[in-house]
A and B are shown apart, each in its own frame.
Chain A
């Protein structure tokens, strides 16, 4: 763990990304303390430009709602949807990929055709259709993002498990009389964790983007304030009130970039080739 941290620290960009991610998490947690008033509530006159009033530093929107408050509460939604949908996608993708890679043959064929069935549909279109069918809500958005997100996980895990399956330690485990389930969970999966962790950090970023896109199109949960919704609501007044779309846009940009940087840092820090000299 110590060696891992020292390797991660070598990538300055990744450390900066981690700092930003932690900052966003802190803002999301602290949102109710800074802004005890609901972000949906009107607090000032509409179209107040930013930096004009210290109480509303980032200005107000078309209905006089506080933009800064919206950003803080939007961070909660983005992070929640990003992490939960990624966890659901992993919960589906890892077992399917592991089974396909471990057993091969017919099992592999069936599971991979099933996976490809989801991959052939453009993921954004599929997400829109799913959310539209199930009524936009926090739950349906998470499920929709997870459904378009799990096939790449299954593919990755399958490939990694197939490579591990060839190793002699798996044969030794079979000879020791371990069951297939024990071999997959205790022997193989611990060796596949690194690429999964890296992929997961990138998936959180893409889930945030996907949620923003859905909200922008008006397919977000109507009762929660999210970054995508803020941009979508402001698109008709871009020329009068630039700040309404720019601040949430910058928030998305920075968070996604930070998560990607962390992902890349993890990939290098967890890479066994860079760990060999430490071993």
Chain B
């Protein structure tokens, strides 16, 4: 992407924007002194971690600030008109017609009870444009343009009948229906699988080239930035810390915070200084032919559905080894993890722990061996009981195993210190902690029963990139200190490549490729693995993990 030559006026010019938060919030302004320009045909990426104010800035431009907040200072000029001074009626005429929007969650952005064609036609109707028959024809043309397969059929479909990527295409079609000069995309690919994300990014780029639309692209992912942005605005705590051409900001960041953010991106290479890996220790887990199939009863008109969640999966895991399980949503990687600890009961196969078969045991026996295999969960909010004190949460396991409560709570305190939390954490409730801290609590809980194997199910996926790096370091550190075996389930290939020794690639319940991480990512054998790797954002030709990683 070359820097477009733009001698004329910017499409959108935001100057000195400040958004006031309601009284009692943790800071006075959500964003302050925010200024940027977007020119015709240009993509400006606004990057930052959660709470940086990047979405707030976009909401201000759209006139969709949440109640209680208001734009206190500054201007946001679209073709010379200050959007911040417009009344609701004038703003409504601009939204949709002059500014198109794409949201993060394609399911909730569409009306679930309205056919796709009608939703697109509604965009014209809302602005009183075209006759009904023409609206229909335009809707069809738009669906064709955004690359929906069989647009004649899709126009009659309901949102739930389309896949996530197709729904996002429909949202893009609606955003572009009136040929807006500015397109605001708020994390449009965050909810999508990596291969779908690559397609959607490509689509946005193509449409932009064709229509010359200016794009304001909000994201937390520097990989996506490298793929799509011409210029970058980096935000932190409501302020712009760095602005510049994408290549400059990514290649030679000036600000300390930007450098820190870019350094935190999983590089896809084993951490430096790790040297050659230790020879693998004794095998602790042998899995053979593990299978779980879901069958739903058929009705009068539809056949019974059979879903292979896990299909004939076999692997070995040695002490001190990290196995990465990667795949897209629905590939069965989470089901595999839950089958191993028997939160889901597998249909067939064998799971041997230190040579002992664990299948077909009584509930009591299972409770004993399950202590040796513990799990760290994905959701830092849902995985901790909101009504239980943190010390007790960590101590539950030992207490259930028969340890006296006092000793268990003392152990909980030690474990919380081990994962880098303050001793006072014991008496506090989960809601008093940030996402990264909660994930540390989850790790302390998993360690409380002195397990030999930890299964981390998307354990860092919900975290900001800098926090993610910290938690990954903690996991790697604990793994070596406690000589654990780790099964790391993730959809993020960059993360997997960074910390895993061995990688298993799953699709539709089957392991399609397994081997040492360097081999799987460096020389992928299976066509699906190659496609996954090709879809990683921010990846330059010829290098699996991008020139950016090398530049750091």
CA distance A168 to B375 in the complex (A): 10
Q: Is B367 engaged at the interface, CB distance under 8 Å to the other chain? A: yes
Helix, strand, loop or mixed for chain B's interface? loop
Contact among B386, B388, B401 with A177 in the assembled complex (CB-CB below 8 Å): B401
Judge if A190 is at the interface, Cβ distance under 8 Å: yes
Taking CB atoms and an 8 Å cut-off, the chain B residues in 362-391 that contact chain A are: 367, 370-371, 374-375, 377-379, 382-388
Contact surface of A with B, Cβ cutoff 8 Å: 167-169, 171-179, 182, 186-187, 190-191, 277, 279
Give 8 closest A-B pairs by Cβ, nearest first: A176-B397, A168-B383, A190-B387, A168-B377, A177-B400, A169-B385, A176-B396, A177-B367
Is B292 an interface residue, CB under 8 A from the partner? no
Task: Give the Cβ gap from A184 to chain B, nearest Cβ, in Å.
Answer: 13
When A190-B387, A191-B387, A279-B431 are in contact, do A177 and B371 touch as well, CB less than 8 Å? Answer: yes
Does B341 make an interface contact (CB < 8 A)? yes
**Given known contacts A191-B386, A191-B387, is B375 in contact with A171 (CB within 8 Å)?**
yes
Given B370, B371, B374, B382, which contacts A167 in the complex, CB threshold below 8 Å? B382
Interface pairs (27), CB distance under 8 Å:
A167-B382, A167-B383, A169-B382, A169-B385, A171-B338, A171-B343, A171-B375, A171-B377, A172-B383, A172-B442, A173-B385, A175-B343, A175-B375, A176-B396, A176-B400, A177-B371, A177-B397, A178-B396, A178-B400, A182-B400, A186-B388, A187-B388, A190-B385, A191-B385, A191-B386, A191-B387, A279-B431
In the bound complex, do residue B431 and residue A175 qualify as a contact, i.e. CB atoms below 8 Å apart? no
A279→B432 CA distance, assembly (Å): 7
Pair A176/B445 contact, Cβ less than 8 Å: yes
Among B384, B393, B396, chain A packs the most CB atoms within 10 A around the CB of: B396
A224 CB to closest chain B CB, in angstroms? 40
Q: How many A-B residue pairs have CB under 8 A?
A: 59
Option from A168, A176, A190 in Cβ contact (under 8 Å) with B382: A168
Query: Bound complex: CA of A176 vs CA of B442, how far in Å?
Result: 12
Identify which of B371, B431, B445 contacts A172 (C-beta below 8 A).
Answer: B445
B400 neighbours in A (Cβ, 8 Å): 176-179, 182
Distance in angstroms between the alpha carbons of A161 and B77 in the assembled complex = 51
Other-chain contact of A187, B374, B385, B449 (Cβ < 8 Å): B385
B367: which A residues are within 8 A, CB to CB?
177
- Bound-state CA distance A172–B376 (Å) is 8
Please, how many angstroms separate the alpha-carbon atoms of A186 and B393 in the complex?
Answer: 11
Contact A172 B387 (CB under 8 A): no
Chain B residues whose C-beta falls within 8 Å of the C-beta of A174 in the assembled complex: 343
Least distance between B263 CB and chain A CB atoms (Å): 30
Tell me the complex Cα distance, A80–B294, Å. Answer: 52
Residues from chain A with a CB closer than 8 A to the CB of B341 are 175
Residues in B neighbouring A182, C-beta threshold 8 A: 400
Name the CB-closest residue of A to B397: A176
A169 contacts which chain B residues (CB < 8 A)? 382-385, 393
- Given the complex, which residues of B lie within 8 Å of A187, measured CB to CB? 385, 388
C-alpha spacing A187/B401, complex, angstroms: 17
Residues of A within 8 A of B385 (CB): 169, 173, 187, 190-191
Query: In whole angstroms, what is the CA distance A173 to B448 when docked?
Result: 12
- Identify the closest chain B residue to A191 (Cβ): B387
Write out the residue numbers on chain A whose beta carbons fall within 8 Å of the beta carbon of B374: 175
Question: Which residue in chain B gives the minimum CB-CB distance to A169?
Answer: B385
User: Smallest CB–CB gap between B427 and chain A, Å?
Assistant: 16
> A168 to B382, alpha carbons, bound, how many Å?
6
Contact call B370/A177, Cβ cutoff below 8 A: yes
Q: How far is the CA of A190 from the CA of B430 in the complex (A)?
A: 14
Q: Which of A175, A179, A191 has the most CB of B within 10 A?
A: A175
Contacts of B448 in A (CB 8 A): 176
Bound state CA distance, A49 and B354, in angstroms? 90
Contact B379 A168 (CB under 8 A): yes
Residues of A within 8 A of B449 (CB): 176-177
- Contact residues, B254-288 vs A (CB, 8 A): none
Known: A177-B449, A178-B400; 17 extra A-B contacts, CB below 8 A, are A168-B378, A168-B382, A169-B383, A169-B385, A172-B445, A175-B341, A175-B375, A176-B397, A176-B448, A177-B370, A177-B397, A187-B388, A190-B385, A190-B387, A191-B385, A191-B386, A191-B387
Complex Cα spacing A169 to B382, Å: 6
Task: Tell me how far the C-beta of A153 lies from the nearest C-beta in chain B, rounded to whole angstroms.
Answer: 20
Which of B341, B382, B448 gathers the greatest number of chain A CB atoms within 10 Å? B382
Per-residue interface assignment for chain B, residues 408 to 444, with 1 indicating a CB less than 8 Å from any chain A CB and 0 otherwise: 0000000000000000000000010000000000100
Q: Residues of B contacting A172 with CB < 8 Å?
A: 375, 377, 383, 442, 445
A17 CB → nearest B CB, Å = 27
Report the Cα distance A190→B429, complex, angstroms: 14
Cα-based distance from A167 to B384 in the complex (angstroms):
9
Known A169-B383, A169-B384, A190-B387: A175·B370 in contact at CB below 8 Å = yes
Contacts of B387 in A (CB 8 A): 190-191
